[in-house]
Structure 1
Amino acid sequence: MASLPEGLLDGGVWFRVEAAPTASSVRRNAERLAVELALPERRIADLSIVAAEAAGNLAKHADQGVLLLRAVRAAGQAGVEIVALDSGPGMADLAQSFGDGHSTAGTLGIGLGAISRQSTWCDMHSVPGKGTVLAAQVWPSGVPAGTWAAGLTRPLTGEQLSGDAYAVREADGRRQVMMCDGLGHGGLAAAAAQEAVRAFTDAPAVPPAAVLEILHRKLNHTRGAAVAVAELDADEGLVRYAGLGNITGTVLSTAGPRRGMVSLPGIAGHQRRQIREYDYPITPDAIVVLHSDGVADRWKVADYPGLLTHSPLVIAATVLRDAGVRRDDAGVLVARLP
């Protein structure tokens, strides 16, 4: 779990949580990460409770429960983030479930309430029969400004490194996101993806097509990647989008139709016929989803009541859980107008 520059997210570590010993391991690793990030002792104690309860809930109640532990950075400080996903029975009444005393396993029923109290920020979405997604963050002090974009990546089963990566930036008023899928798997794919992250972060504040042109040049010493860049313009009500290769870009809303965005054939760093930028209208209630081909484009917003009102992180985690393909690296990035 190495440190990364300001504005980037540590890829973190995924745990499959099926029994109490794994839950204990999650708690110990969370405490160790918090110490590395120099969180105050009081906040480390809070994080310990959040990690223990989140992982414990997976061990007790969940089917196919997994948990991501990673560092997060914003506004000059570092914190710890936990994302817990399961395909269990789900909950019909989240408000009741967060109340102390509510339990479905004969326990004291204080887990979700403790997570809500001890975390700096948390969000949760659950659908009966589909499962639950919980995201929580513990920061040294205060809650950073609202996050308009967030993502998750997961390596191919059996691999330690993911060839998928993403990045988020604000450059001279431009709110831009990038999704990348390094060719193949393992270390070389991850190296290409991380080079794309560095190049995107360092690129001047120019439109998506110009940013993608820069990435194409910067990746020429790597094995190459599929890459897409999107820019959300609240003033114009537009998404500007440019992509090379098999990154899927979609605009989704509860009211309007699903709108796919165009990525052209090619491999950033190696071959391209052209780079073009396309504009798509976006409404304040809509979201933009970018994902690699390790995520199937088969999920339907209608199957997840209320999901689009939640944080980009919870939306991305839900898509990864239900549409992620185990035979490939998988990455999802979600953004919305601020």
Structure 2
Amino acid sequence: MEVIRSSHHSAFPMEDISRVGEARRHAVTLAMRAGFDEVKTGQLAIVVTELGTNLIRHAQRGTLLLAVREQAGEVEAISIDHGPGMADIARSMGDGFSTGGSLGAGLGTVRRMARDFDLHSSVPGGTVIVARLAREAGPKAAGALEVGAVSVPKTGELVCGDAWAAAMADPSATLAVVDGLGHGFDAAEASAAAIDVFAAEAARDVTQMLEKMHLRLRSTRGAAVTLLRADASTSRLRSCGAGNVSVRVVSGAYDRSMLMQHGTAGLQMRRPEPIEQDWPQHAMIIVHSDGIGTRWAPEVVLPVLGRDPTLAAALLFRDHSRGRDDATVAVLRRRM
């Protein structure tokens, strides 16, 4: 079983060209934490410079999100904007099709340098690009299920009070999304404690895990928690939770929410009661904290159902982040 632990994204709004340099310097720091060599670090710098400069020159309200997953030796760069979108994606992906003032590499070069690359664009809605570079050469191991997430602190905070983790054990996966009460360091302490329990107890039933989290979080300010186990072999979901971390299962023909119990892990919580439901073949599972509004239409994510799940997470963050709290979206889907 592989346990993937969250690392929050640092957000760099691309308001002027100086922000590109800030993002690049931060990316180099993340590269050191991921164990990149000099060549790989240089490639990451090119990717971040190109994505950031494109946002400055072409986009409206563009933001670059950067995160490291030290355990996997990966750095992730996500470019999001609110328009005008790419009218000709194929032309935009050509080498050398770049913006004035950038390195002239173009998105085609970004795609080649990244181990993982995916893009969604609509006119006039805007563009989301996901690029990941990894310490080790070659493609990552491909399991039956795939998870992606965006987790961003409240503006002005140094840490994120939300956290997420996934335990991958083909053909099943268990997902946790935790929202520490409030924001800042105390909220981050609570969510980190819950994820520690998850990492140690991920093989247990979701109800048992939640009970253990409740006990562990008594020394913290508490947290809203949702736990979900998805089994691709049986096409069934089993979930439980306390508080307002939302679960929604979406496909082109299916849209259903799983309602969690009221309460707060670590403070006051009833005995966990599991919820079970079907998991349609092409549906993605979306779990998000209350930093994301709940009144989003499935059409937001339908264009990327079969794509990198981080694209769906980034689209929801872009279009439905409340902007006044930590915000986390985790997406789980079958690998097509």
In the TM superposition, residue 157 of structure 1 has moved relative to its aligned partner by 2.1
Q: Distance in 1 between matches of 2:298 and 2:170?
A: 33
Q: Secondary structure, in 3 states, of the residue corresponding to 1:260?
A: strand
Shift of 1:59: 1.2
- 1:137 maps to 132
Count of aligned residue pairs for this structure pair: 331
Corresponding residue of 1:251? 249
Of 117-126 and 297-306, deviating more is: 297-306
Map 1:74-153 to 2 at 5 A.
Answer: 77-100=72-95, 102=97, 110-140=105-135, 141-146=137-142, 148-153=146-151
Structure 2 counterpart of 1:273, from 262, 270, 273: 270
Q: 1:161 matched to which residue of 2?
A: 159
The CA distance in 2 between the partners of 1:142 and 1:298, in whole Å, is 40
Q: How big is each residue's C-alpha offset from its partner over 1:15-59, in whole Å with a ceiling of 9 and x where there is no partner?
A: 111221111221222123213433122212211211110111111
Deviation at 1:170, TM superposition (A): 2.6
Give the AA of the match of 1:89: P
Segment of structure 1 superposing worse, 265-274 or 98-107: 98-107
Residue type of the alignment partner of 1:127: S
Which segment is superposed worse, 95-104 or 204-213? 95-104
Structure 1 position 7, deviation (Å)? 3.1
Under a length normalisation based on structure 2, what TM-score does the superposition of the two structures give? 0.91
Partner of 1:193 in structure 2? 191
The answer to whether residue 328 in structure 2 is matched with residue 331 in structure 1 is yes
Q: Distance in 2 between matches of 1:107 and 1:219?
A: 47
Cα distance in 1 between the residues matched to 2:9 and 2:119: 20
1:13 and 1:34 map into 2 onto residues whose CA distance is 14
CA deviations over 1:89-126 (Å, ceiling 9, x no partner):
11244233212354687989752112111112111111
Deviation for aligned residue 1:198: 0.9
Q: Residue by residue, what CA displacement relative to the aligned partner does 1:204-254 show, whole Å, maximum 9, x if unpaired?
A: 512212211111111111111110001110111011111111111100001
Distance 1:106 1:217 in 2: 54
SS at match of 1:306: helix
CA contact 1:171–1:205 (8 Å) conserved in 2: no
How do 1:150-229 and structure 2 match up within 5 A? 150-170=148-168, 174-229=172-227
Give, in whole Å, the separation in 2 of the partners of 1:7 and 1:73. 10
Q: Answer yes or no: is the 8 Å Cα contact 2:149–2:330 preserved in 1.
A: yes
User: Residues 222 and 304 (structure 1 numbering): CA distance in 2 closer, same or farther, change over 3 Å?
Assistant: closer
Q: Show the counterpart of 2:17.
A: 20
Unaligned runs of 5+ in 2: none
Q: Displacement, 1:13? A: 1.9
For the aligned residue pairs, the C-alpha RMSD in angstroms reads: 2.3
Q: Is 1:52 matched up with 2:54? A: no
Contact 1:216 1:269 in 2 (8 A): yes
Match of 2:61 among 42, 60, 64: 64
* 2:40 is aligned with 1:43: yes
Query: TM-score normalised to the size of structure 1?
Result: 0.91
Identical-pair percentage? 36
2:300–2:315: 8 Å Cα contact kept in structure 1?
A: no
- Residues 108 and 206 of structure 1: CA distance in aligned 2, closer, same or farther (over 3 Å): closer
| Secondary structure of 1:309 counterpart | coil
